[in-house]
């Protein structure tokens, strides 16, 4: 006699949860890089700080996939003067 709870019915969005999580982490890195740029951090300092934050966030779970993407994400943010913004304010 099978139990109905033994075979869970997953919602349609649960099948690509890993992709959604990675997209969320990439967006978080982009947001952090834009904030650090607006605060006046150099690109190297922003990369070092974000890399340290990600390593600390995942220190018990191994190396995350998005750790390898930090350099390219920060480079794009600093090249575009922010995340969809026109850059730091000027007075």
Per-residue pLDDT of the chain (91 residues; tens, 9 = 90+): 577 777 777 777 777 888 888 999 999 999 999 999 999 999 999 999 999 999 999 999 889 989 999 999 999 999 987 545 555 555 4
User: How far out from the chain centre does Cα 9 lie?
Assistant: 29
Q: How many CB atoms lie within 10 A of CB 13?
A: 8
**Cα gap 47→73, rounded to integer Å:** 9
CB 25 within 8 A of CB 37: no
| Predicted model pTM | 0.74
């Amino acid at each position: 006699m099978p139990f109905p709870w033994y075979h869970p019915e997953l919602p349609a969005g649960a099948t690509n949860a890993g992709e959604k999580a990675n997209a969320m982490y990439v967006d978080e890195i982009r947001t952090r890089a834009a904030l650090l740029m607006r605060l006046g951090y150099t690109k190297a300092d922003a990369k070092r700080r974000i890399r340290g934050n990600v390593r600390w966030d995942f220190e018990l779970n191994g190396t995350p996939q998005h750790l390898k993407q930090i350099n390219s994400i920060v480079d794009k943010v600093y090249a575009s003067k922010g995340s969809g913004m026109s850059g730091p304010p000027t007075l």
